[in-house]
Amino acid sequence: MAKIRELVPELAEVARTELNENPANRDALIVAFRTWINEQNYLEARTDDQFLVAFLRVCLWDLELAKKRIVFFYNYKSKERGLLKSRLVDDKLLELARSGIFATLPNPIGPGGPRIHYTRMGHIETSKHSVTDIFRFHAFRSEIELNTDDNWNISGVVEIMDFTKIPYSLLLQFDPSMFRRMNAFLEHGIPTNLVATHIVNASRETQFVLTVIRNVMKQKELLHIHPNVESLAKAIGKEYLPVELGGNNGALNDAVSRYEAQLNSFASYFSEDERYGVDEKLREASEREKEQRQTSLVSGVTGVPAVSGEEGAFRKLNID
């Protein structure tokens, strides 16, 4: 029996109908996933049931897709040290947690619905916080949610971003190339899906930058810009907004305090995380060896030597 959290009925129904989850083969797929990971000499990954099930769920229980996603997840963390920096819970991360910028609201949009993140962009101090600092915070929070939040994993996440008094100097840090690098991890690495991003209280200058961001997004329809809080409340339901905006979904300061405690509780987890990742040289060697075996198999079946340099059906997977 897999050691995973029991889902509330509404969330279990979403997992069954939208993610193809089937208790009859769930445990066997988790075991097969773990076995495959342990067989890869280039991959050092966590293999507890709850961690693995998060990747299987977001990949609709397609084992091959889950393999590719977990390799991307760890390969990204190994290669993008410039963005993710240290994996330790340090003073910079704790300062961001206490800043009041980010809040995870306690109630999802219904028992089987997505988690809600609320971000107060005006609380960002550019003298202290860079765009890469904010991305690193998101990466840490995502990995905590990977391990603790079934709504986030199964039904996805709704981002609400309040642009009141956003510092203009932060907008000047925007770089489309860097955004693509960051977005790759959020889109192809972490095991969740972005349901929607709702922007409220954005100035005309900010809306221009948001238009640029929308142009590099694959799913442009996920970005919604609201002229006021009333429009936002109508879109997601007033009861799901924090009390500061007239809703019933907890106080933002309480959410900030909860997350700081949660981040501290994961300090040892992230300290251990330094040992996990992908050895790119070993991965490339493994891929070459696999291609050679496949080429030999084709030659043996057809009796015709493979053409030098021909990739055909055995083209090397590029996950970078």
State pLDDT tens for residues 112-133: 999 999 999 999 998 888 888 9
Please report the beta strands in 108-239, taking only residues with DSSP state E, as ranges in sequence order: 115-120, 157-162, 194-200, 223-226
More confident site: 126 or 25: 25
What is the per-residue pLDDT for 299?
A: 59
Average pLDDT over all residues of the chain: 88
pLDDT at residue 152 greater than cutoff 90: yes
How would residue 227 be classed by pLDDT, with cut points 50, 70 and 90? Answer: confident
CA distance 55 to 72: 11
Within 10 A of 210 (CB to CB), how many other CB atoms are there?
Answer: 19
Instruction: Please give the order of strands across the beta sheet that includes 157-162.
Output: 102-104, 115-120, 157-162, 194-200, 223-226
Q: Which residue has the tokens 């819970």?
A: 89
Give, to the nearest 10 degrees, the angle between helix 176-188 and helix 131-148. Answer: 0
pLDDT at 210 over 50: yes
Region of 309 please: left (phi>0), alpha (psi -120 to 50) or beta. left
Would the pLDDT of 293 be above 90?
no
Task: Indicate the pLDDT class of residue 170, thresholds 50, 70 and 90.
Answer: confident
Supply 220's token pair. 């442009």
Cβ burial of 34 (10 Å; 0-12, 13-18, 19+) is: middle
Please, which pLDDT band fits residue 174 given cuts at 50, 70 and 90?
confident
Return the pLDDT at 77. Answer: 92
Report the C-alpha gap between 121 and 278 in whole angstroms: 34
Which runs of E-coded beta strand occur in 173-275?
Answer: 194-200, 223-226
Residue 249's SS3 state is coil
Q: Answer whether 293's CB lies under 8 Å from 301's CB.
A: no
The helix/strand/coil state of 224 is strand
User: Per-residue pLDDT averaged across 69-88, rounded?
Assistant: 91
Nearest to 2 by CA among 36, 32, 28: 28
Any idea which residue has 């709850």 for tokens?
Answer: 50
Residue 43 has a pLDDT of: 97
